[in-house]
Amino acid sequence: MNEFQVPADLGRIPGKIYCGEGFSNFTADQWRIFISIYATVVLWEYLEVDRKILTYFVRICHLFVNRILETKSLDEIHKKIVDVVTLIEKKYERNVITPNLHLSLHLSACSHNFGPLYAFWCFSFERMNRILGSLPNSHRQIEPELMRRLINDNRINEMIYTENNSKGMDQFGHDEMRRFWMYSRTIQESTISGKEPFPGEMLKPFSENIPLSADGILDLMIAYYNDTYENLKFWKPFETDSLNSIIIPLKINKYCRCRIGSEIFGSTFSPRHQKSSYILAKFASEDDSIDIYPGQIQFFFVQKISTNRINMENHYLAYVRWYKKIKNRFYFGINQEQMCNVELWDTEFYPKS
């Protein structure tokens, strides 16, 4: 478990998980993290018949913790809970069927009536209590002191989103701003296809006028623009047909972070400020088969291109490296049902393309 590199925003679990009778030192949030991230990998080699029970249970938890829960997912959850209870009874007999297992059969109906568990669970309440308890205070007037701190954080937030934020930034120290960003950052999985409007902004720090040749992606950019704008032709400067084509600028402004909506994505460009973001994307192969690939964002950049030879248009782009497949990708899966909660991918990337 110490070898796992878990994004900071997902929280932490105790370093010694065997402390406390029956893992009594785990909070509900820590149990969620343990089941959804660690359990399959660390327990797989110690289980035989119970692998199916664990796989079903992890699948149930994955579906239940989603912010958006579809009706068909509730049907799958209920069926899997029935299967788990049946498998437990079959292997360990009826004596181990506790009231909790019976009550779990009502979770799908509860979620159907009141919405996703995400809307009313206590994980965020527990985590906020831990954060508030770790803040320095005088131990005499804790509530007013914490409220003043939250009000100050809210002021910082308002100043960031206002047009005059540059005037107000000097009122607060850089340490306060850094602490605020640590609270607000998040890791998000998303799938974006094609060329879409960019509803966000690039975030500093950034580097100006970085040569494209430094990362060897100038040729990739030309191929990208030619694929994106099929009716136009893009070339490098000083190419033979460059007079009748659109010229690609040789330099870009490179950014380490990007905000899309309320989410902040990091990159490997500036690990000092934030962990890098990992994304999932669907790709169609030459045989028309579609598969999902994980990738790591290397950096974000902005490039100005004139697509009508008159006006310059900003292009907000991300440079992503995609991980290679391996043969035993579904090692932690149930072959008969093609169910796999944890996939194995190579640590190396596909060639730049």
* Residue 345: C-alpha distances to residues 201, 219, 272 (Å): 31, 27, 26
Alpha helices by DSSP H, 165-268: 165-168, 174-184, 218-228
User: Could you list the pLDDT tens digit for every one of the 353 residues in the chain?
Assistant: 888 877 766 777 776 666 556 666 777 778 888 898 899 999 999 987 799 999 999 999 999 888 888 889 999 999 999 999 999 999 998 888 999 999 999 999 999 898 888 887 777 777 778 778 788 878 788 888 888 888 888 888 777 766 444 544 444 444 443 443 333 333 333 344 455 666 678 887 778 887 777 667 888 888 888 888 888 888 877 766 655 678 888 888 888 888 877 677 777 765 454 556 788 888 887 788 888 999 998 888 888 887 777 778 888 888 899 999 999 899 998 876 678 899 999 999 999 88
pLDDT, position 190? 39
- Residue 262 tokens read as 């309320």
Cα distance between residue 155 and residue 6, in whole Å:
31
Q: DSSP readout, 31-93?
A: HHHIIIIIHHHHHGGG-STHHHHHHHHHHHHHHHT-SS--HHHHHHHHHHHHHHHHHHHHHH-
Q: What are the residue ranges spanned by the domains of the chain? A: 47-119, 122-163, 196-349
Where do we find the tokens 């190419």?
239
pLDDT, position 6? 78
Q: DSSP readout, 305-334?
A: E-SSSSS-EEEEEEEEEEBPP-TTTTTTEE
Cα distance between residue 337 and residue 55, in whole Å:
11
pLDDT, position 295? 92
pLDDT, position 83? 93
Describe the chain by its helix, strand, coil percentages, rounded to 5: 40, 20, 40
pLDDT, position 262? 66
Contacts 24+ apart (CB under 8 A), 188-193: 188/263, 188/265, 188/277, 189/278, 189/279, 189/280, 190/260, 190/279, 190/280, 191/279, 191/280, 191/281, 191/282, 192/281, 193/281, 193/282
